[in-house]
Amino acid sequence: MVDVVPVQSVMRSLVDVYAEHPEPRTVAVVGNMPMAANEERAKAIDACDLVFRVNGFVTDEPGAPPTVGSRCHVVVFNRALRATKYVFENYRKRLYLMVEPGRLHWEPDMLPGWWPEDLGLVPVNNAEVTLPLSDALGLPTRAEGTWATTGTMAAWIARTCYPEAELLLTGYSFIDDPNQTSWMHAAGDSCIVGPEHQIAAEGRLLDSWTKTGLTRLLR
């Protein structure tokens, strides 16, 4: 078992509504690293009872080589989201969780003007997710304004909500390359690794989960 602080039951109850059934046995979290086509990976993701995707994600196009699957139940994002066309597909059937660690410091309470008017979202409580995760990573979030990436927050939510489930992780470049200072996204854009992130610590944490027998990394 992973020794982490469980999130409040209200989060689990909310996510359950969007899963294939309320007791998911397999959960996938798909990060935004560009991935080569891999039919087995895509099938494994789409076979999961619950699939999380992150920020400006992509899904497989019909007829294209299978790569990261097409199923999506939960979108974890932040206000700096660079939305792709996939983010809002079937949005009435998805749960949108907005992480906002910057609200602890400077981030304003606002959404982009292009956010769909009929799309609700749930702000993720920093006390329940951001700060416990920062403690696990050894990050001084309150004092120095460092916090985990949205991808690691998504993985943390999945692991703490469903500690008994098999967790599949994929699309996390910093597990194998913890020293990168910029990264490409699956949608084709790129950006620097923000100074608020300590991705080497995040990579160590996620890699440690794979030693428990309940988490599997799909490359």
User: Residue 51 domain-assigned?
Assistant: yes
How far apart CA 97 and CA 119 sit, in angstroms, is 12
Q: In the predicted model, what is the mean pLDDT of residues 191-213?
A: 95
User: Residue 2 domain-assigned?
Assistant: no
Quickly state the pLDDT bin for 67 (edges 50, 70, 90): very high
User: Residue 141 domain-assigned?
Assistant: yes
Q: What is the pLDDT of residues 72-93, one digit of tens each?
A: 999 999 988 989 999 999 998 9
Which pLDDT score is estimated for 116?
86
Which pLDDT score is estimated for 9?
73
Which pLDDT score is estimated for 145?
85
On whether the CB atoms of residues 28 and 168 are closer than 8 A, the answer is yes
Q: How many domains does the chain have?
A: 1
User: Residue 32 domain-assigned?
Assistant: yes
CATH code of the domain containing 96: 3.90.1480.20
User: Residue 175 domain-assigned?
Assistant: yes
Given its phi and psi angles, is residue 87 left (phi above 0), alpha (psi -120 to 50 degrees) or beta? alpha
User: Residue 3 domain-assigned?
Assistant: no
Domain residues for the domain of 167 are 9-218
User: Residue 87 domain-assigned?
Assistant: yes
User: Residue 55 domain-assigned?
Assistant: yes
Which pLDDT score is estimated for 1?
44
The pair of three-digit structure tokens given for residue 7, joined into one six-digit string: 């999130």
